[in-house]
Amino acid sequence: MEDDSLRSVKNATYKEIADAEMTSKISQFIADLQQDNASIHAPTLKLLLDMVINQQGSIELIVQHKLIQILHKFMVNIEATQEFVLSSAVIHIIGVYGGTDDKVVLAGSVTESMIQMMHSKDEKISKAGSKALWDLVDENIEIRNSLLTTGFANKLLHSFTLGNTIPKHVKNSLLDIALKLSEFEEGLEALNILVPVLEDIVSIDSREIKTKARNLLVLLQAKGMRNQQDNNIRDKKIIKLKDKINQKKKEIEQEKERADLA
């Protein structure tokens, strides 16, 4: 019993020492990141990233000392600088470790990184991201749900509306994932917004992309997805037709009333 008590005291002491050392490092990180000397920012962020990954309890201390707010200045300008990448990585890991148990949200932390890989100008990186995500979509329902409910279709739509500024291999990677998603029944309504842009791609893009877009369009249409604009036009026509029918019925009733009075 005494040994257990002594062990508990030692463990508590070790934790206090470890926390004190981390607190000292965090204070130094804060001082370095607030300096005007930009050359020390990236090395400091690397040390911070290493701490978040490898030192238990560091996240609580980082939040407590409001270091996350200091990282804001490295992310406010959306450019792929080393500082932006490192600070984003720190935030990403803190979010995954200290975030939610919601599987769809957690899955999003995986899919977002792979979608970014797919947008790489390096075709090998893009294809690697696409293959990895394709396999996950095939195997994991939470991954599928995350993509369908957290805006993958909007990302694809955004990329394709940029036209020729997006490399062909990126378009191919995105369409591969959309095609894989279309194999499953649930949640496909989220892909309905793609119908108009797919119709455009079929008529203007390269042969390989046209083929994938056409296949996706056929699959979506087979499952009841239609161009929303066409649906709106159809709905307006139906409303007009109903109005005409109602007006005709009203005229017939009025004619009948006049005949009865005569």
**140-156 pLDDT, tens digit each:** 999 999 999 888 999 99
Q: Where in the chain is the domain with CATH 1.25.10.10?
A: 100-226
Q: Which of 89, 4, 15, 102 is nearest to 51 (CA)?
A: 89
Per-residue pLDDT band at 234 (split at 50, 70, 90): very low
Please say if the pLDDT value at position 90 is more than 50.
Answer: yes
Q: What is the CATH number of domain 100-226?
A: 1.25.10.10
Evaluate whether 103 touches 149 at the Cβ level (below 8 Å): no
99-137: burial string, b at 16+ Cβ within 10 Å, e else? eeeeebbebbebbbebbebbbbeeeebbbbbbebbbebb
Question: Percent of the chain beyond pLDDT 90?
Answer: 50
For residue 216, the model assigns a pLDDT of 92
Per-residue pLDDT band at 85 (split at 50, 70, 90): very high
Q: How far apart are CA 151 and CA 142, in angstroms?
A: 14
Per-residue pLDDT band at 136 (split at 50, 70, 90): very high
Q: How far apart are CA 171 and CA 10, in angstroms?
A: 58
pLDDT digit string (tens) for 33-69?
A: 999 999 999 999 999 999 999 988 899 999 999 999 9
Q: What is the mean pLDDT of residues 242-255?
A: 68
